[in-house]
């Protein structure tokens, strides 16, 4: 019933469109296979706005925005309210887009904590602007993605962070055992609008789409009820931001290719692999000059370095030393995991074990889906054991007193003498979490029955 209702909403929202008005619009959105033809003929991009407003393209865009969910923008409109709004106002919005007069609303500024500390400023567009940006994104991806570098992996269909990590690993295994780790300082906040629009103009002949992209860049940011203009940067939070960042950094990719470097880039994370520290220092200096002078961006010297790959992290992973490097989880990623688990299993949390496990399972399933790509299973096995000890500690604390602890152990199959000895022990919960009694009462199989996922088993195993 829900799927049928959604299809009706989609049909109603765009019933004013003419079918087949955009050439090639029936091909997929950003999930479609990458095109094999590489062309930048300006004539082929003279009517992109018609492709953006094509009915099928809009349906895919609405589906994607609804599936991504997200909070409301400055106008307060929610995702659930968007289909009805489009049903009523789409003919007017479509006319504005096709005439090149549409004006987006400012983005809503929110602060998001960074994994390594500090905060990241995000700009949340209205759901209507997210929908339009998604429709534009799907069209531009079809034209631009085939022209991007093979060394670029971020926010591209058919490419992933795991592929980027595997490429880096192959360079290290081939003998390039020094890495030039470049960190671009506040990249998304520092993008030069004129340079970016110059690159857009090289690829897009449709003046209406150019104006729309410029309008999104200059839409402004609302914080504390006040709108501030934006004269640089591409606010993180909108669908178009990753694509525009790839367009900006495509110049870096081409320069590194021209120099013959072995490198991997994922969004603004760029690692170049060389054979010696001396070569790495030379590359660091010359590439920093190029980024500063040509791209008008800033390299964060405090976070950038020339080092052994084992001493750096790339997309949450690092590598072991030796002639056959293995992927391992970066220490900071492990620290973040343990901090999250500690928070959800704290002994004073006051929730039942079943709820605690459900909360953990949601987080651990996603974590395992990404970091299960490591090649150090012993680390995952040790984490499994540590998490179960945390849960046993929480249960022991909830049982509180000796009599209840004795009853709890007996109810879970522990012998009378062992249960009495453990219940009366003066040792603390962490020590007792490895005791025979708690291992019998709360074994691994019990936690699995509650839904706790094992980290040491890869998701597709």
Give 294-333 pLDDT, tens digit per residue. 998 999 999 999 999 999 999 999 999 988 999 999 999 9
Give 280-297 pLDDT, tens digit per residue. 999 999 999 999 999 989
pLDDT tier at 347 (50, 70, 90 boundaries)?
A: confident
What value does the mean pLDDT of the chain take?
A: 87
Distance CA 108, CA 368 (A): 32
10 Å Cβ neighbour count for 384? 19
- Which pLDDT does position 100 carry in this prediction? 94
Which one is predicted more confidently, 13 or 371? 371
Tell me the DSSP string of 60-119: HHHHHHHHH-----TT---GGGHHHHHHHHHHHHHHHHHHT---PPPEEEEEEE-TTSSE
What letter would DSSP give residue 454?
Answer: P
Residues sharing a CB contact under 8 Å with residue 435, sequence separation 6 or more, in sequence order: 422, 425, 427
What average pLDDT does range 388-395 have in this prediction? 96
Residue 8 has pLDDT above 90, yes or no: no
| Greatest extent of the chain over all pairs of C-alpha atoms, in Å | 86
Say if CB 248 and CB 267 are below 8 A apart: no
Give 40-63 pLDDT, tens digit per residue. 555 567 789 999 999 999 999 999
The helix/strand/coil state of 150 is: coil
Distance CA 217, CA 196 (A): 10
- Which pLDDT does position 70 carry in this prediction? 85
- Which pLDDT does position 459 carry in this prediction? 47
Distance CA 283, CA 287 (A): 6
- Which pLDDT does position 20 carry in this prediction? 34
Residues sharing a CB contact under 8 Å with residue 317, sequence separation 6 or more, in sequence order: 165, 327, 328, 329, 330, 333, 371, 373, 374
pLDDT tier at 433 (50, 70, 90 boundaries)?
A: very high
Rounded CA Rg of the chain: 27
10 Å Cβ neighbour count for 356? 21
What average pLDDT does range 89-95 have in this prediction? 95
What average pLDDT does range 217-228 have in this prediction? 69
- Which pLDDT does position 220 carry in this prediction? 74
What average pLDDT does range 387-391 have in this prediction? 97
Which residue matches tokens 């030393």? 321
Distance CA 340, CA 356 (A): 12
Tell me the DSSP string of 298-358: -B-TTT-EEE-GGGS-BTTEEE-SSSS--EEE-HHHHHHHHHHHHHHT-TTS---HHHHHH
Residue 232 has pLDDT above 70, yes or no: no
Burial of 446 (0-12, 13-18, 19+ CB in 10 A): middle
pLDDT tier at 30 (50, 70, 90 boundaries)?
A: very low
Which residue matches tokens 């410029």? 214
Tell me the DSSP string of 174-217: TT--EEEEEEBTTHHHH-BHHHHHHHHHHH---HHHHHHHHHHH
Q: What CA–CA distances, in Å, run from 371 to 171, 315, 361, 380?
A: 20, 10, 15, 9
């Amino acid at each position: 019933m829900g799927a049928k209702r959604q299809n009706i909403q989609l049909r109603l929202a765009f019933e004013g469109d003419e079918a087949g008005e955009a050439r090639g619009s029936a091909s997929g959105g950003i999930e479609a296979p990458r095109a094999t033809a590489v062309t930048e003929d300006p004539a082929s991009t003279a009517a992109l706005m018609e492709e953006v407003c094509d009915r099928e393209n809009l349906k895919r865009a609405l589906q994607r925005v609804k599936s991504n969910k997200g909070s409301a923008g400055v106008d307060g409109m929610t995702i659930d309210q968007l289909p009805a709004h489009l049903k009523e106002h789409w003919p007017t919005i479509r006319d504005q887009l096709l005439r090149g007069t549409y004006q987006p609303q400012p983005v809503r500024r929110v602060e998001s904590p960074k994994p390594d500390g500090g905060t990241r400023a995000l700009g949340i567009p209205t759901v209507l602007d997210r929908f339009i940006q998604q429709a534009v994104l799907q069209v531009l991806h079809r034209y631009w993605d085939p022209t991007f570098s093979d060394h670029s992996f971020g926010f591209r269909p058919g490419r992933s962070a795991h592929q980027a990590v595997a490429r880096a690993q192959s360079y290290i295994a081939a003998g390039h055992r020094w890495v030039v780790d470049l960190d671009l300082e506040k990249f998304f906040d520092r993008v030069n609008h004129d340079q970016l629009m110059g690159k857009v103009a090289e690829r897009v002949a449709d003046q209406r789409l150019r104006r729309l992209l410029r309008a999104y860049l200059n839409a402004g940011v609302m914080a504390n009820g006040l709108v501030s203009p934006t004269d640089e940067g591409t606010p993180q939070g909108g669908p178009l931001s990753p694509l525009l960042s790839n367009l900006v950094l495509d110049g870096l990719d081409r320069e590194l290719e021209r120099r013959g470097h072995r490198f991997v880039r994922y969004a603004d994370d760029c690692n170049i692999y060389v054979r010696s520290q001396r070569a790495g220092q030379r590359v660091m200096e010359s590439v920093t000059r190029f980024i500063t002078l040509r791209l008008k961006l800033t390299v964060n010297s405090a976070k950038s370095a020339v080092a052994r790959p084992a001493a750096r992290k790339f997309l949450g992973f690092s590598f072991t030393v030796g002639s056959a490097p293995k992927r391992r989880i970066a220490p900071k990623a492990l620290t973040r995991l343990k901090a999250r688990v500690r928070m959800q299993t704290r002994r004073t949390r006051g929730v039942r074990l079943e709820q605690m496990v459900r909360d953990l399972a949601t987080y651990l399933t996603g974590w395992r889906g990404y970091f299960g790509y490591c090649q150090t299973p012993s680390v995952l096995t040790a984490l499994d054991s540590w998490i179960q000890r945390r849960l046993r500690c929480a249960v022991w604390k909830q049982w509180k007193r000796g009599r209840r602890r004795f009853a709890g152990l007996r109810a879970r199959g522990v012998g009378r003498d062992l249960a009495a000895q453990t219940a009366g022990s003066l040792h603390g919960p962490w020590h007792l979490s490895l005791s025979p009694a708690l291992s019998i009462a709360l074994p691994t199989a019990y936690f699995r029955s509650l839904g706790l996922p094992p980290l040491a088993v890869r998701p597709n195993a």
